[in-house]
Amino acid sequence: MTKEVAWSTPDRSTVAVAMAAAAAIVVLVVGALAVVGRSGSPGSLVERQNFTVQYGQDPLPSGTVREFTLTAATGVTTISGAGPTDVWAFNGSVPGPEIRIGLGDTVRVTVTNDLQVPTSVHWHGIRVPHSMDGVPGVTQAPIAPGESFVYEFTPPDAGTFWYHSHKRGNEQLERGLYGAFVVEDDVPDPYTQDVTLLIDDWLLKEDGKLDPDFDFGEDIRHNGRWGSDLTINGVRDPGLNARPGERLRLRLVNTSTARIYTLDFGLLQAVGVAVDGLYAGSPLEADGFVLAPGNRLDVDVTIPVDASGVFQISDGFTGGDPLTLVAINVEGTPVEPPSFDPPNGSVPDWSSARNWHPDRVFELALTGEEANSQPVGLAGDPEGDFRWTINGRSWPDASTHIADLGGTEKLRFVNDSSAFHPMHLHGQFFQVIARDGVPVREGHFRDVVLVGAGETVDVVVVATDEGTWILHCHIQLHAEYGMATLYEVSSAGR
């Protein structure tokens, strides 16, 4: 078993960092803990009366059915200026068309696969019926070339979501198979602009074409595939025009397969109002917010009435010069700023949960290892031999953790590697309650939490949505090479 896991910089150069943990011991300990959820009659690990879940009431169906078609096919776009980039796209564009509906509306999306390979579509963050979740081998068969699949559901939550391929995401997401999905409030607040910003990075060759090695061994072992060409809504260096006094709702989505962004709003007055779709309990600091793959942050930005010029939103994650994500060009006649309180949601305080039943935690050890100890070939290319694991098992070999429908439990992600793991649970939201044993009160729900190298993160889940859901790392190469497991929400034991 090799313990070498390192983290890579965006240009694919690597800095090797030895993995410190004794993975074999961790696996044994976790194997014992993992059965806790099955042994008691209620599957919940913490009494449910300690928690209430307040996502908001399920909406009354509006009776409106919104029909969409998404056709996955090859296409061409321009990113670098050096030459055209061949992509895979929904309806011929990267990103695919934004799906925007009102709360209570039903969507019926016919996805047609005109690619040469199977695909599927996952509706990230939307609490869909299990059969609509779009995970091949878990909730449906993959959509074969030439075939179609109809997804139909009524999203129960308003907010910022997105859709993307859930088949071989390290290639299909990287090639461009994603788009935005916005569910508007019953009565949207009167922002002067409501704009979705999908942030992506591209690893291109000098001629502007995609680097074709989607399974590069060092990327698998380290932090996935990072590209240095950044786009917003598929465009490099996009501009947004606003007049002084405008109040903007910006919905930022990290659609990258691996790259992480630390948001810097510069001179803009920006507050976060929603994370991963759901409104926060109160406005949160937007500057410095870490947007990991899959994460969303909605910000409320007021342009001062006396402002003019260009305002930047940038990324500072790598610690070098800030990278501009979006430039907002402020000019024109000032408008009267709309006056209303930033929207907020009801977010129960679970921050003391770490102290409750400390012995009852579903622990997930996140590790990586060589799949065999055979020497690599003479070429020295060990691609494919490395596997990421959760509790010692590598997808599709996975245990199924069973949670009690309506019950509550604590999950503990233990990152025994030197890579980042943005962990994503399908079907339910959760709250972070501690990092490295220190209680935290984030004040919002999530569906993706970034677990840093060597870090331990505790979260609380109230299992509200029945079915067997996938729980995986959102660095697409980590998931493709094994970092996924199953989380079953079941009423069977009640």
Instruction: Tell me which residues touch Cu ion (CB under 5 A).
Output: 421, 473, 475, 478
Smallest distance from Cu ion to CB 473, Å: 3
C-alpha distances (whole Å) from 380 to each of 59, 221, 301, 375 are 57, 15, 51, 9
The position carrying tokens 């240095």 is 228
Smallest distance from Cu ion to CB 476, Å: 9
Helices marked H in 261-357 — which ranges? none
CB-nearer residue toward Cu ion: 167 or 421: 421
Do 23 and 3 meet the contact criterion of CB atoms below 8 Å apart? Answer: yes
3-state secondary structure of 71: strand
CB-nearer residue toward Cu ion: 347 or 473: 473
* Residues 6+ positions from 16 with CB-CB distance below 8 Å: 4, 6
Q: How far apart are CA 118 and CA 167, in angstroms?
A: 7
Smallest distance from Cu ion to CB 479, Å: 7
Smallest distance from Cu ion to CB 415, Å: 9
Q: Classify each residue of 293-316 as buried b or exposed e, where b means 16 or more C-beta atoms within 10 Å of its C-beta.
A: bbbbbbbbbbbeeebeeebbbbbe
CB-nearer residue toward Cu ion: 126 or 473: 473
CA dihedral 376, 379, 383, 389 (to 10 degrees): 20
CB-nearer residue toward Cu ion: 177 or 419: 419
CB-nearer residue toward Cu ion: 77 or 476: 476
Two structure tokens written together for 236: 């490099």
CB-nearer residue toward Cu ion: 222 or 401: 222
Give me the residues paired with residue 458 across strands: 412, 434
Q: How far apart are CA 280 and CA 293, in angstroms?
A: 19
Smallest distance from Cu ion to CB 421, Å: 3
Smallest distance from Cu ion to CB 80, Å: 28
Smallest distance from Cu ion to CB 147, Å: 31
CB-nearer residue toward Cu ion: 233 or 257: 257
Two structure tokens written together for 272: 């976060």
3-state secondary structure of 275: strand
